[in-house]
A and B are shown apart, each in its own frame.
Chain A
Amino acid sequence: MEEIEVRLFATLQEGRFKKTKIRADEVRTVGDILDHFKIDPEEVAIVFVNRKHASLDTEIRAGDTVSLFPKVGGG
């Protein structure tokens, strides 16, 4: 089966998962992944696809790894 790996970081893992896979034919963009896992886009500050900076509109395909990070802002 052709899959996409989804990795959540820090507080995004709470009540969800750290790492999982989703069938590639179920999603077209990073935004679709958020919808699939019921993640509010406001919770996500930065997106990487295959270790490269991306956005919610970035199209994804089988074999990609999507990493989602929350906003961290303390100094």
Chain B
Amino acid sequence: MSSRHNKGGQGSNKVSALPRYSQNLGILGIDGQRKLLSCKIIVAGLGGLGGHVLDISARLGIGTIAGIDHDVFDETNLNRQLLSDEPSVGQPKALVAAAHARAINSHINFIPIKEKLENVNEKLFKGAHLVFDCLDNPSSRILLQNIATRNNLPLVHGAIGGWYGQVAVVWPGNNVINTIYGSMSKGVENKLGNPSFTPPVAAGIMVSEGVKVLLGKNVGANLFIFFDLLEDEFNLLKF
């Protein structure tokens, strides 16, 4: 947490006075905004999904965001990854993300982790409230689910491919990620690629679901949302 948010009651007055959050308060209220400012989230993967999840979360005012990605930007990222631009090609995604977060909201604390998930110290997850799965490979997704379960953390999963995307809200102990990614078959993205418009749709749904988890608002059982932007379909299922 930044020092600005560690001042108790004074902080609440500041929140209501801050123009940057004025457009949030209609749905969050002061208490909800204060709650988000006190929350810590983990964003695993800072590519197509993770860049948007970070951006949306930072603008929303989630107080502490840890972003994990060992990779650097390359030219194939430029068609869709929000944090990438021509000057950032070759730069570590975690460090570019830190600069982006600082530039759009210096009131929050961003923790850049330039490591593969398997090398991240699990202490990072202590004190967190929610984990976002923005990864792009099955083994890391399963590892992240296991870490979330060990730390009793809810997980918001997102995945994209072509016109399609899915979001799942996974409560600790549920192993749906194992079910989806346990087989060796390839995802549709290997054939269809990832255009620019699918990641922000999935990321927007992910963060809206995450906010509901953080605020305890309209949270149901384990939730699976699948969208098809070609057929304009939005399917809601439970598991």
Which A residues form the contact surface with B (CB < 8 A)?
A: 9-11, 18, 42-43, 45-46, 48, 51-53, 55, 67, 69-75
Contact = CB atoms under 8 A, between A and B. Distances in A.
Most chain B C-beta atoms within 10 Å of own C-beta, residue among A10, A42, A51: A10
Interface residues of B, number: 44
B135 A75 contact: yes
A52 B162 CA distance: 25
B237 A51 contact: yes
A40 to B, nearest CB: 8
Interface of B: 45, 47-50, 134-138, 141, 158-166, 176, 179-181, 183-189, 191-192, 194, 222, 224, 226, 228, 231, 235-239
B238 A9 contact: no
Secondary structure class of chain B's binding surface, majority of residues: mixed
A75 B160 contact: yes
A44 to B, nearest CB: 9
A46 B179 contact: yes
16 contacts: A9-B235, A10-B163, A10-B164, A10-B226, A11-B191, A18-B231, A46-B179, A48-B224, A51-B236, A53-B176, A53-B222, A71-B186, A73-B136, A73-B186, A74-B187, A75-B135
Nearest to B187: A73
A72 B237 contact: no
B235 A71 contact: no
A69 to B, nearest CB: 6
